[in-house]
Amino acid sequence: MERDPNCVFCKILDGEIPSAKIYEDEKVLSFLDIAPFNYGHTLIIPKYHAHGISDLPEEYRNAVFAAAAKLAPAVMHATGAAGFNLLMNNGETAGQTVPHAHLHIIPRFADDKVLLGASQKQYQGTELAEMQAKIQAKIAAREA
Ligand code: AMP
């Protein structure tokens, strides 16, 4: 759907809630995150209400990532960041608090201690091959 009247990001799109806009085109709006991990933390939202990447129409999905490629260098130069993360939380369990698909551009600085706490696991025995087959089967079933 184009808009959800209860969605905070749809309200930003409709100008009902202000935002510090940094970029806009036909398909996306980009503005500063109100509670940044680092100053300059930027959000890109599609002008279409979908919860996450998988239910976002392709033209909006492409526009969000095209905007990220364009805006991230500007965010880096403006902030003096040494790098950046592109982050997209999909689902509450993954940390999504606003159920309107959006991409974060998070400028990063040496030793900024942002996004800590992740630990990587190790597959044992045949677990990796089993997981590979399971996901591939789901992809094949969806494409069939
Ligand atoms: P997520 O946790 O991935 O759903 O990210 C939602 C982000 O939206 C958070 O980083 C919030 O700080 C940000 N946010 C929520 N409301 C606003 C707002 N009115 N203006 C700017 N950023 C917002």
pLDDT on residue 118: 81
Global confidence as pTM: 0.94
For the CA of 32, the closest atom of ligand 1 is: 21
Q: How many CB atoms lie within 10 A of CB 120?
A: 4
> Amino acid identity of 74?
A
Q: What is the pLDDT of residues 44-86, one digit of tens each?
A: 999 999 999 999 999 999 999 999 999 999 999 999 999 999 9
Q: What is the pLDDT of residues 86-124, one digit of tens each?
A: 999 999 999 999 999 999 999 999 999 998 778 899 999
Catalytic site includes residue 102: yes
Whose structure tokens read 């959006």? 102
Token digits of residue 30: 């980009």
For residue 94, the CA-to-ligand 1 centroid distance in Å is 14
The average pLDDT across 11-32 equals 97
For the Cβ of 98 lying below 6 angstroms from any atom of ligand 1, the answer is: yes
Spell 71-109 as b/e; 16+ CB within 10 A means b.
bbeebbeebebeebeeebbeeeeeebeebbbbbbbbbbe
Token digits of residue 106: 């998070």
For the Cβ of 90 lying below 6 angstroms from any atom of ligand 1, the answer is: no
For residue 43, the CA-to-ligand 1 centroid distance in Å is 8
For the Cβ of 30 lying below 6 angstroms from any atom of ligand 1, the answer is: no
The average pLDDT across 7-19 equals 97
Residues in the chain: 144
Strand order in the sheet with 21-24: 21-24, 28-32, 42-46, 103-108, 83-87
